[in-house]
A and B are shown apart, each in its own frame.
Chain A
Amino acid sequence: MRHPFLIAAALLSGAALFAQTAAEPPQLGALARANLTKPRPKPPFDLTGTWMHGGGPNNGFRFSPPPGFKLTPAAQVQYDAAQKAAKAGKVYHDDIGQCWPAGLPVIMTRVWPIAMVQAPTAVFMISGFMNSTRIIYLDGRKHTDPDLVVRSFNGESIGHWEGDTLVVDTTGFVDDHHWIDTGIPATDALHIVERMRLIDNGNTLEIAYTLADPKSWEGEWKMTKRWHRVEDTDITEASCLPDLNEHMPSTHSSVNVR
Chain B
Amino acid sequence: MTKFFACFVFLAALVAIPASAHHSMAGFDRTKTVTLSGTVKQFKWANPHSWIEMEVPDGKGGVMPWNVEMTSPAVLIRAGWKSSLLKPGDKVSVAFHPQVSGEPGGIFVSVTTAEGRTLTDKPASSAAPSDAPPAQPK
CB contacts (< 8 Å) of B44 on chain A: these are: 244, 247
Contact residue among A111, A181, A255 (Cβ-Cβ distance under 8 Å from B19):
A111
Q: Is A236 an interface residue (CB 8 A)?
A: yes
A112 in contact with B24 given A94-B138, A255-B101 (CB within 8 Å)? no
- Tell me if B69 and A240 are in contact (CB < 8 A): no
> Is the contact region of chain B dominated by helix, strand, or loop, or is it mixed?
loop
The 8 A CB mask of B65-78 against A (1 = contact, 0 = none) is 00111001010000
- Tell me if B48 and A182 are in contact (CB < 8 A): no
CB distance from B34 to the nearest CB of A (A): 12
CA distance A238 to B22 in the complex (A): 11
The interface stretch among A8-16, A17-25, A54-62 is A54-62
Q: Is B81 an interface residue (CB 8 A)?
A: no
CB contacts (< 8 Å) of A244 on chain B: these are: 44, 46, 49, 51
CA distance A238 to B72 in the complex (A): 10
The interface stretch among B102-110, B114-122, B124-132 is B102-110
Q: Is B80 an interface residue (CB 8 A)?
A: no
Count of residues in B whose CB is under 8 Å from the partner chain: 36
The 8 A CB mask of A222-258 against B (1 = contact, 0 = none) is 0000001000010011111100100111111111100
- Tell me if A240 and B48 are in contact (CB < 8 A): yes
CB distance from A126 to the nearest CB of B (A): 14
Contact residue among A111, A239, A241, A250 (Cβ-Cβ distance under 8 Å from B24):
A250
CB distance from A99 to the nearest CB of B (A): 10
Contact residue among B18, B67, B107 (Cβ-Cβ distance under 8 Å from A111):
B18
CB contacts (< 8 Å) of B106 on chain A: these are: 249
CA distance A208 to B83 in the complex (A): 40
- Tell me if B103 and A250 are in contact (CB < 8 A): no
- Tell me if A110 and B137 are in contact (CB < 8 A): yes
Contact residue among A113, A241, A250 (Cβ-Cβ distance under 8 Å from B27):
A250
CB contacts (< 8 Å) of B99 on chain A: these are: 249, 253, 255
- Tell me if A249 and B67 are in contact (CB < 8 A): yes
- Tell me if B138 and A249 are in contact (CB < 8 A): no
CB contacts (< 8 Å) of A52 on chain B: these are: 14, 18
CA distance A181 to B21 in the complex (A): 16
CB contacts (< 8 Å) of B25 on chain A: these are: 250
CA distance A111 to B47 in the complex (A): 13
Q: Is B7 an interface residue (CB 8 A)?
A: no
Q: Is A130 an interface residue (CB 8 A)?
A: yes
Known contacts A97-B24, A249-B103, A254-B103; 7 additional CB pairs below 8 A are A91-B27, A112-B18, A130-B22, A236-B47, A247-B69, A254-B101, A256-B24
**A interface vs B, CB < 8 Å?**
52, 54-55, 61-62, 86, 89-91, 94, 96-97, 109-113, 128-130, 181-182, 228, 233, 236-241, 244, 247-256
9 nearest A-B pairs in the assembled complex, by CB-CB distance? A249-B105, A97-B23, A238-B47, A253-B27, A94-B24, A96-B23, A111-B18, A91-B24, A247-B67
